[in-house]
């Protein structure tokens, strides 16, 4: 059973040991069907989008973003592997890598606090034309990585989740590459060990920085929420401009992982795909960009996304023939 405080389908593994039983038994939810995203608000009222809500994810539009010099983010411990233990798991909603021991911090970059990493997880689609939770200029990516941090003053993610600015999540988009990204091997090679919900596997020593883009200087910033129940509006979101490469064959291994959902005929676990929440109204919120982007460049980026989407569509058609 997933936890109510599962952040973007990810926090449940991290907080299971510290949450009281009453919170562990919160109502079941999923992405499709009668307990899907369109009905979360019935059991989790904060998930309902209103004219005053600050829900996530959102569509980030370059021409509507406000430039602000937020200064570089400091990533402490991100380049270390010794002394940091990770556990990979399947929580029924996502693939999650949880920090078991060690400390990784982010600060600077316009953050109001120091934030400590708790885990990272992924969102992806059944096909490569969708999968990311955030959209950039209306375009989706096939995979999105979220690194979840709690305010360093809080003892747990569950405590931080109900506090203003209690959480900071870093979002990274993936783009399809013709070759495998070997930096992802520690995750990709262990997906077969966590196929079913509840499966866990200790990871070999990994350096979190190796998973990320070379440049981390350009990013967007806005105030939002958890993207799964309970949808608490306590997240400082940072979505990075530069992408991470992944091959289609690597992405296909994510799609072989099973979700909590069961086939009504066979009772077998269903493939874990399309585990993303649709974008929510931005309302009166402001999205900041710590880099300057001309309107022409924004149009170019949007055009590239459209071209990539068309290419993927054509490839899928020919593959089916």
CA distance 231 to 229: 5
Residues taking part in catalysis: 93
Tokens of 302: 């949007």
Per DSSP, 281 falls in state -
CA distance 269 to 261: 6
Q: Residue 175's beta-bridge partner residues? A: 245
Compute CA distances 237 → 9, 86, 120, 146, 240, whole Å. Answer: 16, 23, 14, 10, 10
According to DSSP, the β-strands at 59-60 and 135-136 are parallel
Residue whose entry in the numeric block shows the structure tokens 């375009």:
139
Instruction: Give the 3-state DSSP-derived string for 160-206, with helices as H, strands as E and coil as C.
Output: HCCCCCCEEEEEEEEEEECCCCHHHHHHHCCHHHHCCCCCEEECCCC
Tokens of 142: 């096939």
CA distance 172 to 147: 9
CA atoms within 13 A on the CB side of 213: 19
CA distance 113 to 94: 27
Q: CA end-to-end span of the chain, whole Å?
A: 40
């Amino acid at each position: 059973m997933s936890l109510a405080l599962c952040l973007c389908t990810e926090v449940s593994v991290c907080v299971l040991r510290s949450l009281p039983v009453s919170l562990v038994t919160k109502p079941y939810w999923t992405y499709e069907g009668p307990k899907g995203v369109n009905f979360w608000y019935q059991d989790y009222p904060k998930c309902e989008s209103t004219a005053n809500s600050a829900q996530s994810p959102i569509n980030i539009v370059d021409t509507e973003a406000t430039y602000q010099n937020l200064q570089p983010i400091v990533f402490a411990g991100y380049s270390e592997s010794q002394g940091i233990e990770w556990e990979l798991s399947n929580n029924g909603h996502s693939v999650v890598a949880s920090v078991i021991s060690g400390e990784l911090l982010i600060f600077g970059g316009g953050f109001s606090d120091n934030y400590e990493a708790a885990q990272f997880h992924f969102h992806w689609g059944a096909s490569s034309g969708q999968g990311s939770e955030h959209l950039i200029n209306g375009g989706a990516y096939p995979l999105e990585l979220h690194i979840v941090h709690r305010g360093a003053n809080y003892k747990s993610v569950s405590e931080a989740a109900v506090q203003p600015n209690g959480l900071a999540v870093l979002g990274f988009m993936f783009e399809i590459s013709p070759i495998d990204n070997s930096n992802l091997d520690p995750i990709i090679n262990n997906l077969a060990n966590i196929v079913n919900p509840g499966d866990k596997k200790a990871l070999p020593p990994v350096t979190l920085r190796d998973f990320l883009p070379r440049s981390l200087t350009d990013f967007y910033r806005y105030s939002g929420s958890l993207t799964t129940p309970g949808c608490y509006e306590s997240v400082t979101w940072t979505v990075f401009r530069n992408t991470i490469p992944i091959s289609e064959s690597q992405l296909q291994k994510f799609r072989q992982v099973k979700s909590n959902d069961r086939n009504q005929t066979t009772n077998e676990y269903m493939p874990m795909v399309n585990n993303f929440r649709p974008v929510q109204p931005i309302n009166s919120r402001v999205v900041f960009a710590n880099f300057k982007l001309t309107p022409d460049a924004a149009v170019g980026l949007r055009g590239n996304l459209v071209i990539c989407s068309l290419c993927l569509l054509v490839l899928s058609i020919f593959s089916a023939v």
